[in-house]
Structure 1
Amino acid sequence: MKDKNYILLVVAHALIGLLIYTFPAFSKIYAILIVFVGFYFVIKNRNINNEVLFVSAYIVGSEVFLRMTGGNILYEFSKYSIMIFMVLGMYYSGFSKNAIPFWIYLILLLPGIIVATETLNLKSDLRNALSFNISGPACLGISAIYAYNRKIKFSQLNTILLSMGLPILATTVYLIFYTPELKTILVSTGSNIETSGGFGPNQVATVLGLGMFVFFSRLILESKSKLIFVINLIILFNISYRGLVTFSRGGMITGLFMILILIFFLYVNTRNEGKYRLNLFLLFFVLGFAFTWIYTSNQTGGLIDKRYANQDATGRVKESQFTGREEIWDNEIASFKDHPVFGIGVGKGLEVREQETGGLIIASHNELTRTISEHGTLGIIALMIVFTTPMFLYLDNKQNIYIFCFLVFWILTINHAAMRIAAPAFVYSFSLLKVYMDE
């Protein structure tokens, strides 16, 4: 991509963030445009160049932004859209006959849905319960079937990641204008909704951590000139800073793990003559990250240091490392022990906790324990399919240097944010792509 085109894309998305902050109603127009332009883009080209991956990546990057600004027509709009685009892509380009593991994965989810129709109370809205809990796994299964062993150039994959990163840049610009002066609103080390655009800090930090990885990869691999390097460094700094001040740790720690894994694979696959340049890039990154942390610490009055040390504002260590989520895990494991084969049914875990807590509605943050609880042993088999398949494919897919970055994003994200957003489901599917380097 030419420097001029890249700069235009960056500026355009910065302006989108500013425009939606100034005129919130534009968020709905933005959402509609994404879908209609996406359909036009795919149908016109008949998915010759895997256009559905570019469009779906953009939807993933914009999902939290649209939720934050009231742009989504339906709450699960992004997951449904991605599934429709994946099916459209399969219509034009087919899919691998070897994608059988993920057909099995989808079939294994069905008994939990059937059990739910029998176990959920009449007062429960079955459609909403299924939509909230099963749309993420369904999105993963359909995306995986499309992506399984699909050949794609490394340069294309980087452009797809950019498609995901650009709306995250727009989100970051929106947060810059939305967030009040930090020292006037920070009184504790808990996740902060005011620094998260008035939305859930967990989801916001998740996409910002993903954006951090995207622009780090561009900093290292796609900065062909000093100007683009500086632009990517500035974007990386701003996304990292905005992610840190949400005070939600999961997404940022996940992004950092992805970066460390990428660094490892780059070192392993870089020849000696290229390691000097790589070391230079890494020096800039380490200095930039250190500066970002010091700046954030200063702006938050040291509260960010206490947050990551699991301390409250007074410096006392908190009793729980995971903000009380251990109790939900225990509850879900207990449900599995009581119903080990087919589980308690999709969405039933929410009802169980509501009954046990006297009316409190506590949704699961952990997709692993939720799946085990609500799908039983069949759920464990489904999870094993998802976890092990990329590892087997890697044996014949060494050129996909991102493969374990994507797998780690999926497994760490679903451990703290379940599948509330489409990102872990769709990004996981990238680990199944057959990547080859450009000639």
Structure 2
Amino acid sequence: MKERNYILLVLAHVLIGALIYNFPQFSKVYGLSILILGIYFVIKNGNRGNEVLYVSAYLVGSEVFLRMTGGNILYEFSKYGVMAFLFLGMYYSGFSKNAIPFWIYLLLLFPGIIVATETLNLKSDLRTSLAFNISGPACLGVAAIYNYNRKILFSQLNNILLAMGLPIIATTMYLILYTPELKTILTSTGSNLETSGGFGPNQVATLLGIGMFIFFSRLVLESKTKLMFALNLIIIFNISYRGLVTFSRGGMITGLLMILILIFFLYKNTRGEGKYKLNILLVLFLLGFAFTWVYTSNQTGGLIDKRYANQDATGKVKESQFTGREEILDSEIDAFLDSPVFGIGVAKGLEIREEKTGGEIITSHNEVSRTFAEHGTLGIMALLIVFLTPIFLYLDNKQNIYMFCFLVFWLLTINHAAMRIAAPAFVYSLSLLKVYMDE
């Protein structure tokens, strides 16, 4: 991508973030524009260049921002939108006949739905309950079928990631304008709504974490000039800082691990002068990251240090490292042991916890244990298909240097944020692409 076009895209999304902050009603226009322009873009080109992946990536990147600002047509619009665009892509471009593992994956989820129709109480809204819990896995299955062994150039994959990253820039700009002076609002080390746009810090940090990774990859692989390097470094600093001050750790730790995995593969595949240049880039990045942490620590009065050390505001180590999520995990393991074959049924775990707490709604943050509980042994088989398939494909696809980054993002994200957003499903599916380096 030309430098001028890249700068214009970045500035346009800074402007979008500022516009939506100052004119909240513009969020609905923005959300609707993504859908309309996306359909036009795909149909006009007949998906000859996998346009559905660019549109889907943009939907994924904008999902949390649109939820935060009330711009989504439906709360789960992005998941359904991704599936709809990928089905459109299959219509134009087909899909691999070897994607059988993911047809099996989707079939393994059906018994849990059938069990739910028998086990959920009549007072539950069956359709809503099932949709909330199954839309994420369904999105993963559809995205995986579309992307399975689909041939793509490395430069195209980087542009798909950029399409996901651009709305994260808009999100970051919105957070800059939305967040009050930190020292006036921070009193504890818990996740903070005021620093995450008034929306769920877990989901916000998850998207900022993947944004941090996307622009690090561009810093190292796509910064051809000093101006581009400086611009990407500034973007990473702002995204990282905004992610840290949400005080939600999962997304930021995941983003950092993705960066470390990418660094490992870059070192493994770089020789001679390229490795020397990579060393310089990494030193500059590490200095930038260290500055970001020190700056964040200063702005939060040291609370961020205590948060990542699992301490409260007084410096006392918290009893729970996972903010009480161990209790949910224990209840889901018990549910699996009670119904180990077909599980207790989709959404039944939430209903059981609601009954035990006298009406308190406690959703699971862990997709792995939820799948065990609600789908039983069939769920374990489904998760093994998802985990092992990209690893087997990698044996014949070593040029997808992002593969393990994408797989780790999916695995870690579903362990702290379940599949409430489309990101883990779509990003995972990118690990299945057959990537070719540009000539």
TM-score normalised by length of structure 1: 1.00
1:203 offset after TM fit, Å? 0.1
1:357 offset after TM fit, Å? 1.7
Q: Aligned pair 1:262/2:258, yes or no?
A: no
SS in 2 for 1:435: strand
Structure-2 residue corresponding to 1:41: 41
Q: Per-residue CA shift, 1:263-295, capped at 9, x if unaligned?
A: 000000001221100000000110000000000
C-alpha distance in 2, partners of 1:358/1:136?
28
Structure-1 residue corresponding to 2:317: 317
Matched AA of 1:49: G
1:406 offset after TM fit, Å? 0.1
Where does 1:290-301 land on structure 2 (aligned, <5 Å)?
A: 290-301=290-301
C-alpha distance in 2, partners of 1:273/1:287?
22
C-alpha distance in 2, partners of 1:186/1:370?
33
1:73 offset after TM fit, Å? 1.1
Q: Per-residue CA shift, 1:124-162, capped at 9, x if unaligned?
A: 001111111000000000000000000000000000000
SS in 2 for 1:32: helix
Where does 1:14-25 land on structure 2 (aligned, <5 Å)?
A: 14-25=14-25
1:359 offset after TM fit, Å? 1.8
Where does 1:383-422 land on structure 2 (aligned, <5 Å)?
A: 383-422=383-422
Structure-2 residue corresponding to 1:154: 154
Structure-1 residue corresponding to 2:249: 249
After superposition, the CA RMSD in angstroms is 0.4
TM-score normalised by length of structure 2: 1.00
**Identity across the alignment (%):** 81
Q: Which runs of 5+ in 1 are unaligned?
A: none
Where does 1:20-419 land on structure 2 (aligned, <5 Å)?
A: 20-419=20-419
C-alpha distance in 2, partners of 1:107/1:422?
20
1:299 offset after TM fit, Å? 0.1
C-alpha distance in 1, partners of 2:370/2:416?
12
Matched AA of 1:374: E
1:304 offset after TM fit, Å? 0.1
C-alpha distance in 1, partners of 2:220/2:305?
28
Q: Per-residue CA shift, 1:331-389, capped at 9, x if unaligned?
A: 00000000001000000000111111222110000000000000000000000000000
Matched AA of 1:380: I
C-alpha distance in 1, partners of 2:12/2:274?
34
Aligned residues: 439
C-alpha distance in 2, partners of 1:136/1:271?
40
C-alpha distance in 1, partners of 2:359/2:83?
34
Q: Which runs of 5+ in 2 are unaligned?
A: none
1:218 offset after TM fit, Å? 0.2
C-alpha distance in 1, partners of 2:361/2:234?
41
Matched AA of 1:75: Y
C-alpha distance in 2, partners of 1:332/1:357?
15
Matched AA of 1:143: A
Matched AA of 1:421: I
Moved over 2 A (4+): none
